[in-house]
Amino acid sequence: MNTIEKDILKVLISEAELKARVREIGGQIAMDYENKDPLFVGVLRGSFMFFADLMRVCPIPCGLDFLAASSYKNATVSSGVVKIDYDIRSNIAGRHIILVEDILDSGNTLYNLAGHLRDRGAASVALCVLLDKPARREKPIQPNYVGFTVPDEFVVGYGLDYADRYRNLPYVGVLKPEVYA
Protein backbone atom coordinates (compact mmCIF):
# COMPACT_ATOMS: atom_id res chain seq x y z
CA MET A 1 0.00 0.00 0.00
CA ASN A 2 1.12 3.56 -0.70
CA THR A 3 1.42 5.15 2.73
CA ILE A 4 3.03 8.35 3.98
CA GLU A 5 5.18 6.38 6.43
CA LYS A 6 7.73 5.54 3.72
CA ASP A 7 8.80 9.21 3.55
CA ILE A 8 9.67 9.45 7.25
CA LEU A 9 13.34 9.37 8.23
CA LYS A 10 12.76 9.15 11.96
CA VAL A 11 10.09 9.47 14.61
CA LEU A 12 10.82 12.47 16.82
CA ILE A 13 7.86 12.23 19.19
CA SER A 14 5.87 8.99 19.37
CA GLU A 15 2.10 8.62 19.71
CA ALA A 16 2.49 7.49 23.31
CA GLU A 17 4.69 10.48 24.19
CA LEU A 18 2.22 12.87 22.55
CA LYS A 19 -0.70 11.35 24.39
CA ALA A 20 1.00 11.52 27.79
CA ARG A 21 2.19 15.09 27.36
CA VAL A 22 -1.12 16.38 25.99
CA ARG A 23 -2.84 14.87 29.02
CA GLU A 24 -0.44 16.73 31.33
CA ILE A 25 -1.05 20.05 29.57
CA GLY A 26 -4.82 19.52 29.61
CA GLY A 27 -4.67 18.85 33.34
CA GLN A 28 -2.55 21.94 33.94
CA ILE A 29 -4.90 24.17 31.93
CA ALA A 30 -7.90 22.66 33.74
CA MET A 31 -6.37 23.70 37.07
CA ASP A 32 -5.33 27.16 35.87
CA TYR A 33 -8.68 27.98 34.22
CA GLU A 34 -11.14 26.00 36.36
CA ASN A 35 -13.51 28.94 36.96
CA LYS A 36 -12.54 31.24 34.09
CA ASP A 37 -14.65 29.80 31.27
CA PRO A 38 -11.74 30.15 28.82
CA LEU A 39 -12.12 30.26 25.04
CA PHE A 40 -9.75 27.89 23.24
CA VAL A 41 -8.81 29.34 19.85
CA GLY A 42 -7.16 26.94 17.42
CA VAL A 43 -4.95 28.19 14.62
CA LEU A 44 -5.91 26.29 11.47
CA ARG A 45 -4.86 24.06 10.02
CA GLY A 46 -1.78 22.78 11.82
CA SER A 47 -3.27 22.71 15.32
CA PHE A 48 -6.33 20.61 14.53
CA MET A 49 -5.12 17.28 15.94
CA PHE A 50 -3.44 18.74 19.03
CA PHE A 51 -6.49 20.93 19.61
CA ALA A 52 -8.94 18.04 19.49
CA ASP A 53 -6.83 15.84 21.76
CA LEU A 54 -6.26 18.71 24.21
CA MET A 55 -9.97 19.49 24.50
CA ARG A 56 -10.68 15.86 25.37
CA VAL A 57 -8.41 15.95 28.40
CA CYS A 58 -9.45 19.36 29.75
CA PRO A 59 -12.83 18.75 31.40
CA ILE A 60 -13.75 22.29 32.47
CA PRO A 61 -16.47 24.67 31.21
CA CYS A 62 -15.01 26.40 28.14
CA GLY A 63 -15.71 27.48 24.60
CA LEU A 64 -13.82 26.97 21.37
CA ASP A 65 -13.27 28.81 18.14
CA PHE A 66 -10.83 28.82 15.22
CA LEU A 67 -8.93 31.20 13.02
CA ALA A 68 -6.63 30.79 10.06
CA ALA A 69 -3.57 32.87 9.26
CA SER A 70 -0.81 33.07 6.69
CA SER A 71 2.45 35.01 6.50
CA TYR A 72 3.05 37.66 3.88
CA LYS A 73 6.33 36.81 2.21
CA ASN A 74 8.10 38.04 -0.88
CA ALA A 75 10.92 36.33 -2.74
CA THR A 76 13.71 37.61 -0.54
CA VAL A 77 12.44 38.43 2.93
CA SER A 78 9.81 37.22 5.32
CA SER A 79 8.07 40.44 6.28
CA GLY A 80 6.85 39.13 9.58
CA VAL A 81 3.39 40.45 8.74
CA VAL A 82 0.58 37.98 9.26
CA LYS A 83 -2.69 37.98 7.34
CA ILE A 84 -5.84 36.61 8.97
CA ASP A 85 -7.60 34.47 6.36
CA TYR A 86 -10.46 33.43 8.62
CA ASP A 87 -11.30 35.10 11.90
CA ILE A 88 -13.05 33.90 15.05
CA ARG A 89 -16.80 34.25 15.31
CA SER A 90 -16.99 34.74 19.08
CA ASN A 91 -17.27 38.00 20.96
CA ILE A 92 -14.12 37.85 23.05
CA ALA A 93 -14.45 41.05 25.10
CA GLY A 94 -13.47 40.14 28.64
CA ARG A 95 -12.77 36.48 27.76
CA HIS A 96 -9.69 34.53 28.74
CA ILE A 97 -8.21 33.18 25.51
CA ILE A 98 -5.97 30.13 25.12
CA LEU A 99 -4.45 30.37 21.66
CA VAL A 100 -3.51 26.87 20.48
CA GLU A 101 -0.90 26.41 17.76
CA ASP A 102 1.13 23.54 16.35
CA ILE A 103 4.57 25.12 16.52
CA LEU A 104 6.22 28.31 17.69
CA ASP A 105 9.09 29.03 15.31
CA SER A 106 10.04 32.64 14.41
CA GLY A 107 7.16 33.76 16.62
CA ASN A 108 5.70 36.06 13.98
CA THR A 109 2.39 34.21 13.70
CA LEU A 110 1.54 34.04 17.38
CA TYR A 111 2.93 37.48 18.16
CA ASN A 112 0.56 39.02 15.63
CA LEU A 113 -2.43 36.84 16.46
CA ALA A 114 -2.10 37.48 20.20
CA GLY A 115 -1.99 41.22 19.50
CA HIS A 116 -5.09 40.92 17.32
CA LEU A 117 -7.02 39.16 20.10
CA ARG A 118 -5.91 41.67 22.73
CA ASP A 119 -7.04 44.50 20.44
CA ARG A 120 -10.47 42.90 20.36
CA GLY A 121 -10.73 43.17 24.13
CA ALA A 122 -9.66 39.78 25.46
CA ALA A 123 -9.07 39.80 29.21
CA SER A 124 -5.97 37.64 28.72
CA VAL A 125 -4.28 35.69 25.94
CA ALA A 126 -2.23 32.60 26.81
CA LEU A 127 -0.17 30.73 24.23
CA CYS A 128 -0.32 26.94 24.12
CA VAL A 129 1.96 25.29 21.57
CA LEU A 130 2.61 21.64 20.93
CA LEU A 131 6.16 22.33 19.76
CA ASP A 132 8.64 25.09 20.49
CA LYS A 133 11.59 25.64 18.13
CA PRO A 134 13.48 28.43 19.94
CA ALA A 135 16.49 28.38 17.59
CA ARG A 136 14.83 30.63 15.00
CA ARG A 137 12.96 33.09 17.20
CA GLU A 138 12.57 36.63 15.84
CA LYS A 139 9.92 38.00 18.20
CA PRO A 140 10.06 38.43 21.98
CA ILE A 141 7.41 35.89 22.86
CA GLN A 142 7.08 33.39 25.68
CA PRO A 143 4.61 30.49 25.40
CA ASN A 144 2.60 29.64 28.53
CA TYR A 145 2.24 25.93 27.72
CA VAL A 146 4.71 23.92 25.65
CA GLY A 147 4.45 20.26 24.73
CA PHE A 148 8.00 19.65 23.52
CA THR A 149 11.02 21.70 22.58
CA VAL A 150 12.35 20.60 19.20
CA PRO A 151 15.66 21.14 17.40
CA ASP A 152 15.96 23.27 14.26
CA GLU A 153 14.67 20.57 11.92
CA PHE A 154 11.57 20.68 9.74
CA VAL A 155 9.02 18.42 11.38
CA VAL A 156 5.77 16.93 10.11
CA GLY A 157 2.85 14.93 11.43
CA TYR A 158 0.17 15.27 14.12
CA GLY A 159 -1.21 18.26 12.19
CA LEU A 160 2.04 19.65 10.80
CA ASP A 161 2.50 19.48 7.05
CA TYR A 162 4.97 19.61 4.23
CA ALA A 163 3.14 20.85 1.09
CA ASP A 164 -0.13 20.03 2.86
CA ARG A 165 0.83 16.36 3.26
CA TYR A 166 1.66 14.32 6.37
CA ARG A 167 -0.82 16.11 8.66
CA ASN A 168 -2.48 12.73 9.25
CA LEU A 169 0.59 11.03 10.68
CA PRO A 170 -0.23 10.12 14.29
CA TYR A 171 3.27 11.07 15.48
CA VAL A 172 5.78 13.88 14.87
CA GLY A 173 8.63 12.95 12.56
CA VAL A 174 11.36 14.19 10.27
CA LEU A 175 11.10 13.70 6.51
CA LYS A 176 13.72 11.98 4.38
CA PRO A 177 15.82 14.61 2.57
CA GLU A 178 14.90 13.21 -0.85
CA VAL A 179 11.27 14.21 -0.25
CA TYR A 180 12.28 17.90 -0.48
CA ALA A 181 14.38 17.36 -3.59
Residues at the site binding ligand XMP, with contacts judged by CB under 6 A: 46, 101-109, 154-156, 160-161
At its nearest, how many Å lie between Mg ion and the CB of residue 71? Answer: 9
Shorter beta-carbon distance to ligand XMP: residue 25 or 160 = 160
Strand boundaries in the chain, DSSP class E = 8-13, 39-44, 63-73, 78-86, 96-104, 124-132, 145-149, 155-156, 172-175
Shorter beta-carbon distance to Mg ion: residue 164 or 178 = 164
| Residue 107 makes contact with Mg ion by CB under 5 A | no
- Write down the H helix ranges in the chain: 15-32, 48-56, 108-119, 177-180
Kindly name the residue from 87, 105, 161, 164 that is annotated as catalytic.
105
Phi, psi of 94 (to 5 degrees): 80, 0
Which of ligand XMP, Mg ion, none interacts with 53 (beta carbon under 5 to 8 A by kind)?
Answer: none
Which of Mg ion, ligand XMP, none interacts with 132 (beta carbon under 5 to 8 A by kind)?
Answer: none
Q: With H, G, I as helix, E, B as strand and everything else as coil, classify residue 105.
A: coil
Write the interaction track for Mg ion spanning residues 41-80; mark x where CB under 5 A is met and - where it is not.
-----x----------------------------------
Which of Mg ion, ligand XMP, none interacts with 22 (beta carbon under 5 to 8 A by kind)?
Answer: none
Residue 105 designated active-site: yes
Shorter beta-carbon distance to Mg ion: residue 33 or 104 = 104
Give the span between the Cα atoms of 164 and 170, in whole angstroms: 15
Neighbours of 101 (CB within 10 A): 25
At its nearest, how many Å lie between Mg ion and the CB of residue 46? Answer: 3
Phi, psi of 25 (to 5 degrees): -65, -40
- Beta 155-156 vs 145-149: how paired, if at all? unpaired
Which of ligand XMP, Mg ion, none interacts with 160 (beta carbon under 5 to 8 A by kind)?
Answer: ligand XMP
Contact status, residue 131 vs residue 147, Cβ threshold 8 Å: yes
Which chain residues interact with Mg ion by CB under 5 A? 46
Active site residues: 105
